[in-house]
Structure 1
Amino acid sequence: MSFRSIWGQVKRERQRFGRFGFQLFAFATWIPVVAMFNHYVGELAWINGPSMYPFLNAEKDQTTRKDVVVNYKLNAQYDLRRGMIVTFWNPYDPELVTVKRIVGLEGDIIKTRNPYPYPTVRVPRGHVWVEGDGGERLSRDSNDYGPISTNLIIGKVTHVLWPLHRFGRVRWWEYAGNIRN
C-alpha cells in the first residue's frame, strides 16, 4: 500500500467525520431550544390514573394506554376560569405533577366533600379549588389538601392528542356550567 492511498483514505475519513461532527453540532444546538420550549411554552403530557375519568383516561378499564394531551405553560397562572383543566405541583408531593379541573376561583364559596373538615369553604385570594372528574373515591384533590395557590399551577390542558377518536381542543367552557358550587 502506497503512501498516497493511505493519505487518501485518511482524507476521506476526515471528511466523513467532519460531516458527522457538523451534523452532531447542528443537532446539539437545538437541545437548549427544545428544553426551553418544553419548560416555558408547552409540552406533551401523559395522563396517569383515574382521577379525571371520564373526561381523561375514559378507556381506563379497557386498555393500559394513557391519554396524551398538550400542556400549555405560557402564562398558565393567569386568566383562569371555572372548568379549565390545569396541571400543578402537588401540595403533598412537590415533585409530582397533578392534573385537575378548576371548580372555584378566589372568593367563591365551595360546597366541599369528604374528607374536607368543613361543609363549605371560601376560596382565598390567589388560590383556586380543584377537583378531579372521577369523584371522591377516585381523586385526591382540594377536598384533601384545600385550596391550591395559583403559583403552583404550571400549565393548562388545551388539546387531547391521544386517543385519536377524542383528538381535538379541550372544550372546558362546556363543563363550567355543570360545576357544583
Structure 2
Amino acid sequence: MAQNATAGRRYLRAFVSGFFVAVPVTVTVLDRFAYVARVEGASMQVRSCTLGPFLNPDGMLESDVVLLNRWSVRNYQVQRGDIVSVLSPRNPQQKIIKRVIGLEGDFIRTLGYKKQYVRIPDGHFWIEGDHHGHSLDSNSFGPISVGLLHGRASHIIWPPTRWQRIQPSLPPDRGPLDSEEEEG
C-alpha cells in the first residue's frame, strides 16, 4: 500500500512539473505563432459570390472559426486582400477582423468616411468589412496604425465543411485608385 502512495506522489509531482512547463510553452506559442478566434457578426459576410472566401455565410446560425497567424505579421507586413485581426481603435479590449483594402501611400475612395478620398499615411493601412454598411471599419475611424495589427487569418478551421486556406483577395470595386483616377 505504501508503494502505491509513493508511486502516486511521483505521478503527481511529474504532472505538476509538466504542467508548469506546458503552460509557459503554450502561452509563448499563442503569443508568437498562432491562435484560433471565432468570427462573430455580419461585417465579413458578402452578398455577392465575386469574393471568396467570405466569413460567416450562415450568419447567426454558425460562426466561422479562423486560424490567426501571428508569426506572419511580426514585422507588420500585410498585403492588400489579407483578412487581419487588429485591436479596435475605439475599444482596445476588442479585436476586430477585417480585410486590408489599402497600404501606406495608397489613395483610397472611401465609403462614407469624412473625406471621399484618403491618402493612407506611412505606418498605416485601410481595412473594411466585406458587408458594407454592417461594419465598423476604416470608413468609421480612418486609417489603422500597423501597431494595432494582431494577426492574419490564414485558414477557416470550423465548421469542418468550410475547411480552407484563406487567400488574399480584394472585392472588384475596392482597393487603391489607379494613377489615372488620381489625376482626374
Give TM-score, length-normalised by structure 2.
Answer: 0.85
Q: Superposition pairs for residues 72-87 of structure 1, below 5 Å? A: 72-76=69-73, 77-87=75-85
* Count of residues in correspondence between the two structures: 167
Number of the residue aligned with 2:181: none
Residue 49 (structure 2) aligns with: none
Displacement of 1:143? 0.5
**d(CA) in 1 for partners of 2:29 and 2:56?**
26
Gaps of 5+ in 2: 47-53, 176-184
Cα separation, 2, equivalents of 1:92 and 1:86: 17
| % identical aligned pairs | 33
1:25: which partner in 2?
A: 17
- Partners of 1:179 and 1:68 in 2: CA distance: 27
Q: What is the RMSD of the two structures over their aligned residues, measured on CA atoms?
A: 1.5
Deviation, 1:179, is: 4.8
Aligned residues of 1:83 and 1:179 also touching (Cα < 8 A): no
Q: Match of 1:176, SS?
A: coil
Flag the structure with larger Rg. 1
Change beyond 3 A, Cα 1:81–1:180:
same
- Contact 1:68 1:163 (C-alpha < 8 Å) held by counterparts: yes
TM-score, reference length from structure 1: 0.86
Q: C-alpha displacement at 1:40, in angstroms?
A: 1.0
Question: Is structure 2 residue 166 aligned with structure 1 residue 170?
Answer: yes
Change (3 A) 1:179 1:35: farther
- Aligned AA for 2:77? D
Letter in 1 for 2:126: W
CA contact (8 A) 1:103 1:179 kept: no
